[in-house]
Amino acid sequence: MELEDREFLTFIKRVKDYSGIDLAQYKEAQMKRRLITLYTKRGFAGFTAFYDAMMKDRELYYEFLDRMTINVSEFWRNPNRWEVLEKKFITEMARTGGRVKCWSAACSTGEEPYTLAMILAENGLLEQSQIIATDIDDGAMDKAKTGVYPDRSIRDVPDRLLKKYFTQQDAHFRIVDSLKKHVIYKKQNLLNDMFDVGFDLIICRNVMIYFTEDAKHNLYHKFSRSLKPGGLLFVGSTEQIFTPGQYELEPAETFFYRKKR
């Protein structure tokens, strides 16, 4: 084994002992490449020197967390999928009535749970809904809680909804409090932590792609157990589940899976 590989294994173990984050459950080549780019840019010769420096320099540790988590998000990411969610599934929930319990898992800076909140509001469901939004990254969730976005991030928000659910401050747009108060943020590591149960809708998009096949397999089981019978799992547009039946899920629409009743 090469020195770099040995150092990477030690790095993984030390990061896990220190933070609980298990890098071994992320795709190795991708993760390694991102971290090597970061430490080289910061002038370190290898993973060991990088780890030692990180333990003395909080900023460097946060930069590492930032690099491993990748917080890119958008309102209405893949708009036609959100349209299906609204036209087919949310309308159905509105017809049935009752409380709607939703979870945006790996919510990053909040665009996803706020997109959902707007759709629920537009369909008269927000008041009876609960939206839990979780992420491993405190920094991203702080931004989500603040709910202020630069103009480039709101370009996919329909004009009518932009006027209704945001206030403009110069080049920034702030989510109105009446919407924000419906989203509850909680820090959570999808790979280690316990999941809440009884969800009508779980949205988990654009994070599975970073995980190993084993980690994904465990997660699908956990998501399935967290859904109510008939509840929906909405995944990212490169993340279809090939054999959903093994998780008691059935395809409901492209990138949507329903927990068997």
| Contacting ligand SAM within 196-215 (CB under 6 A) | 205-207
By beta-carbon proximity to ligand SAM, the closer residue of 107 and 120 is 107
Q: Is 137 in the site for ligand SAM (CB under 6 A)?
A: yes
* Residue 191 sits in the site that holds ligand SAM (CB under 6 A): yes
State in angstroms the smallest separation of the CB of 70 from ligand SAM.
5
x-or-dash string of contact with ligand SAM, 116-135, rule CB under 6 A: -------------------x
Tell me if 108 contacts ligand SAM by CB under 6 A: yes
Among the listed ranges 89-97, 136-144, 162-170, 243-251, the one in contact with ligand SAM (CB under 6 A) is 136-144
For ligand SAM, which residue of 73, 129, 224, 226 counts as binding (CB under 6 A)?
73
Q: Which lies closer to ligand SAM via its Cβ, residue 222 or residue 228?
A: 222
- Whose CA is closest to 70, among 235, 220, 210? 210
Nearest CB to ligand SAM, comparing residues 107 and 132: 107
Pick the binder of ligand SAM from 3, 45, 55, 72 (CB under 6 A).
72
> Taking the complex as a whole, how short is the minimal distance between the CB of residue 72 and ligand SAM, in angstroms?
5
Interacting residue with ligand SAM among 15, 84, 100, 106 (CB under 6 A): 106
Helix H, strand E, coil C: the string for the chain is CCHHHHHHHHHHHHHHHHHCCCHHHECHHHHHHHHHHHHHHCCCCCHHHHHHHHHHCHHHHHHHHHHHHCCCCCCCCCHHHHHHHHHHHHHHHHHHCCCEEEEEECCCCCHHHHHHHHHHHHCCCHHHEEEEEEECCHHHHHHHHHCEEEHHHHCCCCHHHHHHHEEEECCEEEECHHHHCCEEEEECCCCCCCCCCCEEEEEECCCHHHECHHHHHHHHHHHHHHEEEEEEEEECCCCCCCCHHHHCEEEEECCEEEECC
239 vs 248 by CB, closer to ligand SAM: 239
Q: Which is nearer to ligand SAM, 88 or 186 (CB)?
A: 186
Quick one: which of 90, 87, 84, 160 has its CA closest to 128?
Answer: 90
Joined tokens for residue 220: 């699908």
Kindly state the number of chain residues that form the binding site for ligand SAM, as judged by CB under 6 A: 23
Question: Please, which residue, 104 or 129, has the CB nearer to ligand SAM?
Answer: 104
Contact between 69 and ligand SAM per CB under 6 A: yes
- Alpha carbons 226 and 207: distance in angstroms, whole number: 18
- Can you give the binding site for ligand SAM, defined by CB under 6 A? 69-74, 77, 106-108, 112, 135-137, 140, 188-191, 205-207, 236
